[in-house]
Chain A
Amino acid sequence: MTENNPIFDQIRSDIDSNDVVLFMKGVKQQPACGFSHTVVQILRAVGVQDFKDVNILLDPDLRQGVKDFTDWPTFPQLYVKGEFIGGCDIVREMYESGELTELLKEKGVALNAAA
């Protein structure tokens, strides 16, 4: 876990160049885990138009790198505008209370009007 870890650079570049990034098991079209699936569903439900999905199952170094980068032991991990929002439990809680929509609006993330 060093500051010049090239994987950290890759993660930073992903979360800096995409409004919403989900580090997950599988891909958004086909999540490979129930918790990842839940967060994909929630992002759709709140009307997030597009988000970057990063499949951490493809690369063990990336998987460990994201855990170290966020200091968070599990997946999925949701980032909005470069900020770690939480894992499945937190995202679900925020969705149910309406906080997630508030946060996305506050941060200027494009949402579908119908949501």
Chain B
Amino acid sequence: MIEFTRQVGNRIGLHLRAAGEFVKVAAQFSSEVRVYHGEKYANGKSILGLASLAAARGAQVRIEIEGADEADARKAIEALFDAKFYED
């Protein structure tokens, strides 16, 4: 299992559209993806779950990835954060 923390760096935070981008990436991998924000947790392949996290701009989210392709999944998800969810 891989675990890492990222800051939500896009302008408006993890809203429905950004959550959609996240899901599109996570769904390409067979690994399980879990996203934690404060007390809340969401399946990284659920757009509604991610949007319910209320992770605003600047929020720290912890991401756990577990599965055969976890290393590749991490790379892709980190790239998405780097690109600020293709938003700005």
A binds B: no
Interface residues of B (CB under 8 A from A): none
Chain A residues with CB under 8 Å of chain B are none
